[in-house]
Structure 1
Amino acid sequence: MLKHSLFAALIGLAFAGSAAPAADRPAPAAPPSSQNRIIDTAEVRAAIERGAIVWDVRGADEYKKGHIPGAVNIGDIGKVLRKQSDEDYIALAQMERILGEAGIDPSKEIVVYGDKGNPYAYFGLLTVEYLNGKNGRVYHGGIDDWRAAGNALETEPAKRAPVALKLTTNPGVTVSTKDVLAAQKRKGVQFIDVRTAGEHAGEDIRAIRGGHIPGAVNVPYEQNWADPETPAKLARKQVGTKDGLALKPADGLKALYAKLDPNKETIVYCQSGVRAAETATVLKDLGFKKVKVYDSSWLGYGNTLDAPAENAQFFNVGALNARLAAMQKRVDALEKALAEARPAR
């Protein structure tokens, strides 16, 4: 207890208003204590002590409500670093400018976080590794675990010194649609579809067509959590905390993926690569050796009409237009009723 109190006091001093700016902190004095990519609150504190960059990937409004002291933010990573049209990464030159202005250097030690269980934090880690970062970590518990542990929060935006970046990409981290089509012709490649059962079955269509890559094993990414039903329970107010969003213990995760071979090439996909980033990270920490994320995922594959698919179901544009027209009629009728109900002036 005494050691813990002393450590907490030191952390408090480090975050005091008179502390040096994040960019002026000394370089890491020691390597991370764990080789795992997924770290907990104590490991985040230790990383901060080493001078690691802390990257909050949430939207600017949430960031301003409270963030880990010293954490930098470029806004919602899913909107800032991805193109709206296909949700693939923006041009490398744009990433150099955006990350450089925020002082986020992928070559440094970086801890990425968001809300507890938020897959966009894992997408942040994937981005670090995609940009050849070798020392990235993700804080699964995020701001919720940080707050629950009684740690201080800041509301003023943190600033790091801008850096001039010349980024390159790591071809061993992600694959393209062309790579996926080629991989299907090789023996020993396993595909994991981490979308919902409805998406996998082709019932929930989110591209020109629904379905899945032939032979893909469906393990929804929420199955990594202690209680996959937590979001629904929170919405129904059946639980009051996000505790169920914690990852399963290692034994539970190993059991979840027991039918897969950790020595085989493994390609993980979802709708646009975000949910896949979480499962891919979990697999790497479990010892899977050749894991890659299909960045374009089903958004790219489902729209590539000559790519083979199982449970293929095409999006019915005519039916959608009919439903939209019916909804518009209801809206028009409601507006007319409201107008007639208003008292005359």
Structure 2
Amino acid sequence: MLISTSELNSILDDSNLIIADTRSFKEYSEGHIPGAVHLDLFAFHWIDTSKQGIENFNNQSKSLLSFLGVTPEKKVVFYDSVSGMLAARGVWMLMYFSHQNTMMLDGGITKWQKENLAIETNPNGFKPSDFSGKTNPEIISGFEYIQDNLENLKILDARSPGEYDGSTIRAAQSGHIPNAINIDWSQNLREDGTFKNDEELSKMYDYPKDTEIVTYCQGAYRAANSFLVLKKLGFSNVKVYLGSWGEWGNRLDLPVEN
């Protein structure tokens, strides 16, 4: 699920490659990887994980991925300023639609520029497709699943310690989902913005590989980053709670701890 700067640089001419820059349009305009299109995934928050809500998410996502031009033979690379949460969200979304040939640029454009690789400023147009991926319910969770399985799940809160303990308030309720443990997603990265190696990450996520884990944050972006790390380490049963605290913390009928 990761591609290095040198690997990506060697396949820039591949006609089956889609490169999606998930940063702001301003950052994209100031310089991006040659051939990259701009895709603002941050605008795609989703805080309704009722059955109908997930169905609507599926339909909206298919429209977005059709716009991006995804077809079965395409290799799709998402990048961010670092090995960030926006690129991770893109990779998770494609995996959710059973498109396995997707990856994140490790170190993002920061590493790319540090290595003096080519940059362009002209925008690139989309080549839309009719995307029809099959959803994989094994890597997504709604609020009801967590509520029904609170005692059996390992719930991983990828937010900051302040959000977790309730001192930073970003919803009607403050705190965290009961029994959740806090591992801030930013700890997944080295100072240079690349992912830590598996040995370092395994010390942070020291659980049996078949543990059922649900990751969440505020809007399922940081949670997607932690999801990728867990999959990279070989965890077989990991889900992203799509609604995250944006949904859970604003539903007064759901339990919280702080």
SS of equivalent to 1:78: helix
Matches within 5 A, 1:97-246: 97-105=63-71, 108-185=74-151, 187=152, 189-227=153-191, 243=192, 245-246=193-194
Q: How far did 1:91 drift?
A: 4.4
2:180 and 2:57 map into 1 onto residues whose CA distance is 30
Corresponding residue for 1:52? 17
Distance apart, 1:53 and its partner CA: 1.5
Q: Is residue 86–residue 299 contact of structure 1 (8 Å, CA) maintained in 2?
A: no
Q: Give the aligned length.
A: 253
Flag the 1:47–1:176 CA change in 2: closer, same or farther, 3 A.
farther
Contact 2:18 2:75 in 1 (8 A): yes
CA distance in 1, matches of 2:168, 2:208: 29
Q: Go from structure 1 to structure 2 and tell me whether the alpha carbon gap of 1:98 and 1:214 turns closer, same or farther (over 3 Å shift).
A: closer
Q: In the alignment, does 2:203 pair up with 1:255?
A: yes
TM-score scaled to structure 2, two decimals?
0.88
Q: Report how far residue 271 of structure 1 moved.
A: 1.0
- Percent identity between the two aligned chains: 34
Relative to structure 1, the CA distance from residue 305 to residue 60 in structure 2 (aligned partners, 3 Å threshold; closer, same or farther) is same
Note if 1:82 corresponds to 2:81.
no
TM normalised by structure 1 equals 0.67
Looking at structure 2, the residues matched to 101 and 269 of structure 1 have their Cα atoms a distance apart, in angstroms, of 27
Structure 2 counterpart of 1:61, from 8, 16, 26: 26
Alpha-carbon offset, residue 246 of structure 1: 2.6
Mind listing any 5+ residue stretches in structure 1 that lack a counterpart?
1-36, 228-242, 312-345
**1:167 shift after superposition:** 4.3
Query: Higher relative contact order by CA 8 Å / sep ≥ 6: 1 or 2?
Result: 2
Worse-superposed segment, 102-111 or 86-95: 86-95
Determine the C-alpha separation between the residues in 2 that align with 1:139 and 1:130: 19
Instruction: Give the Cα separation in 1 of the matches to 2:61 and 2:205.
Output: 34
Alignment match, 2:231: 284
Q: Distance in 2 between matches of 1:166 and 1:285?
A: 26
TM superposition shift of 1:104:
3.3
Query: Is there any run of 5+ residues in structure 2 with no aligned partner, and where?
Result: none
CA contact (8 A) 1:107 1:132 kept: no
Map of 1:270 onto structure 2: 217
- Structure 2 distance, partners of 1:279, 1:299, is 17
Compute the displacement of 1:47 (Å): 4.7
Q: Secondary structure at the match of 1:172?
A: helix
Q: Equivalents in 2 of 1:97, 1:248: separation in Å?
A: 34
Partner SS, residue 219 of structure 2: coil
> Structure 2 CA distance, aligned partners of 1:105 and 1:207?
38
Residue 203 of structure 2: SS of its match in structure 1? helix
Task: Report SS of the residue matched to 1:280.
Answer: helix
User: Over alpha carbons, which structure has the higher Rg?
Assistant: 1
2:243 alignment partner, one of 290, 296, 301? 296
- Structure 1 residues 201 and 101, CA gap change in structure 2 (3 angstroms): closer
Q: As a proportion of its length, which structure holds more helix?
A: 1
SS at match of 2:174: strand
Q: Is the 8 A contact 2:139 2:240 kept in 1?
A: yes
- Indicate if the aligned counterparts of 1:106 and 1:131 stay in contact, CA closer than 8 A: no
Q: Per the alignment, do residues 215 and 102 of structure 1 end up closer, same or farther by CA in structure 2, a change over 3 Å counting?
A: closer
Aligned partners of 2:238 and 2:57: how far apart in 1? 24
Deviation at residue 277 of structure 1 after TM alignment: 0.6
CA distance in 2, matches of 1:39, 1:198: 32
